[in-house]
Structure 1
């Protein structure tokens, strides 16, 4: 995208078109938001460059350099400052990566990195340094994944992640699910996705019908950090999933100057509920190098969780958790 081109001159009609028209030029994004480059302490990151959709940018507040959505996608110079005890592999995933594409952290489930691509580059991403090339999944690697699953009857759930699994076409996702149908001890397929938040048009009747062809119980885990990210199109997609009896839950990451205020998280829970989504987790930041400026300490996080308990019904209070390498499950505060 050229610097002079407005990133939102034409709204795409399909999710495939939206992916082709992702905003990758920081100057174009700032121009659309009516911001001068001098108003922000930003930088160009060639390793993990800007990547965001037109529709997500349209939700950002014009002329506001502190917009919480902008802060999540525009690289800050703070990312170049080293942070003590922050690493490129904060969850030690290389140690639980037995075959390409498989992360086996917890006993009853595995995570599959079906794709390395996402429709957005979140600045706090804990897999920004993940060795995706060594974990590339294709039809050639499917037999090895299936054999790994067949060898361990204790695995009951597959978590599809990435990247973002919804970057794959419906047909490829359907083929993969059909390929695993005869692994009888697999009961649940869980999708972890930010795609419907970044490009809400992704959830279509065709996609939901494809999911319905599978015997597995399906669960969608969305990733919304701020109420400003939600919209009517997201709600319509959630409704399609609910009609197919596919529950939709949400997990957030606790981020300084994005959602680290009690009222912000309270508003998020209410808005999630209004859109048919139940709050599930609030994750403390994973200590990946370059993200220390987003960190919220445990004491503040605990106070936030208590405030939510005081102001929300129990079914709208997400669990505040931290992932600790080697632990058998997420660790609650």
Structure 2
């Protein structure tokens, strides 16, 4: 996701120092050559693309870099963030809007695809830019629900009594300062038919410091059951700092699920998928979805054939307990839900 605005436009207060997580965000690595130098790797040998990095900038927090294996050009965390020449090759069947977000617009920053649910594009900002992101070309500047103090977005939800669940997405909704999040959820309390809140976020994994006292207090005080859907693709994304952040979220009453994307060279083996499910469960997270790649321009080099995906899913089901097997799905524009494979 491309930042819609500098993070400094969302301070916690005008007088107090910025929270530590915001400083860590600002200090993120943004130069592919700096990143590779930190890992002892050669940019030229890996096919790093300046053009790809210009179109979709690199951003990765230092804490996430620390989990990468030094000297390993095939490191699964590095592959998720490194801009490569392969992104610039046109591929048939890959588009700017791979999942039909544009056609599903139901208000400013509101997307309606499935019955009973409304998705809010809370912000365009992310702490990490994943190269396979299906919203890497999304027009965040024009389509962010935070515009006009959330009024249009909340009004659209209030006007449709079939909506009983709101999903905060983006970008990453937890890139917003906690007072901004509270402003939104305060507005949502005026929607009498809202029963559940869901948050889709990668921050507890890539920047666990975001799970600070203010976020936990906000989460614990919400009047609805809250499900936090995390996004981790590989077991190596978890460490002690992530475990601690997730424990705090569970302590605040959130149900934790994980959705992953099946990515060539990252997790396209049964060993990697089993380790991801098992390591997530150790941290208190249940597998939810394993997505086939959304066919967005620039991500074709990550695609895994359906036949391979199905074989891996069968092998995974034969190896781990049933509750550790995520649903293998694809999002198809116009479908009433995720399509099982």
TM-score range, shorter chain: over 0.9
1:145–1:55 distance in 2 versus 1, CA, 3 Å: same
What is the rounded CA distance, in whole Å, between the counterparts of 1:311 and 1:193 in structure 2? 28
TM-score by length of 1: 0.94
Contact 1:52-1:121 within 8 A present in 2 as well: yes
Deviation at 1:182, TM superposition (A): 2.0
Q: Residue deviations 1:27-74, cap 9 Å, x none?
A: 111110011223311112212011110000111110111111111001
Contact 2:220-2:253 within 8 A present in 1 as well: no
- Note if 1:161 corresponds to 2:150: no
Partner of 2:230: 222
Q: Residue deviations 1:183-235, cap 9 Å, x none?
A: 11111111101111111111123211111222121110000000011011111
After superposition, where does 1:132-281 map in structure 2 within 5 Å?
Answer: 132-138=140-146, 140-281=148-289
- Residue among 285, 305, 310 paired with 2:313: 305
Partner of 1:5: none
After superposition, where does 1:111-130 map in structure 2 within 5 Å?
Answer: 111-130=119-138
- Note if 1:20 corresponds to 2:42: no
Higher RCO (CA < 8 A, seq sep 6+): 2
Partner of 1:8: none
Partner of 2:292: 284
Contact 2:110-2:145 within 8 A present in 1 as well: no
The RMSD of aligned alpha carbons is: 1.3
Aligned length: 322
What is the rounded CA distance, in whole Å, between the counterparts of 2:43 and 2:96 in structure 1? 29
Deviation at 1:88, TM superposition (A): 0.4
Partner of 2:67: 59
Deviation at 1:139, TM superposition (A): 5.5
Consecutive unaligned residues in structure 1, runs of 5 or more: 1-11
Contact 1:174-1:211 within 8 A present in 2 as well: no
Consecutive unaligned residues in structure 2, runs of 5 or more: 1-17
SS of the residue 1:39 aligns to: helix
1:139–1:90 distance in 2 versus 1, CA, 3 Å: closer
Partner of 1:82: 90
After superposition, where does 1:293-332 map in structure 2 within 5 Å?
Answer: 293-332=301-340
What is the rounded CA distance, in whole Å, between the counterparts of 2:145 and 2:161 in structure 1? 22
Contact 1:193-1:220 within 8 A present in 2 as well: yes
What is the rounded CA distance, in whole Å, between the counterparts of 1:138 and 1:86 in structure 2? 29
SS of the residue 2:60 aligns to: coil
- Residue among 20, 30, 35 paired with 1:29: 35
What is the rounded CA distance, in whole Å, between the counterparts of 1:87 and 1:13 in structure 2? 38
TM-score by length of 2: 0.92
4+ runs of 1 displaced by more than 6 Å? none
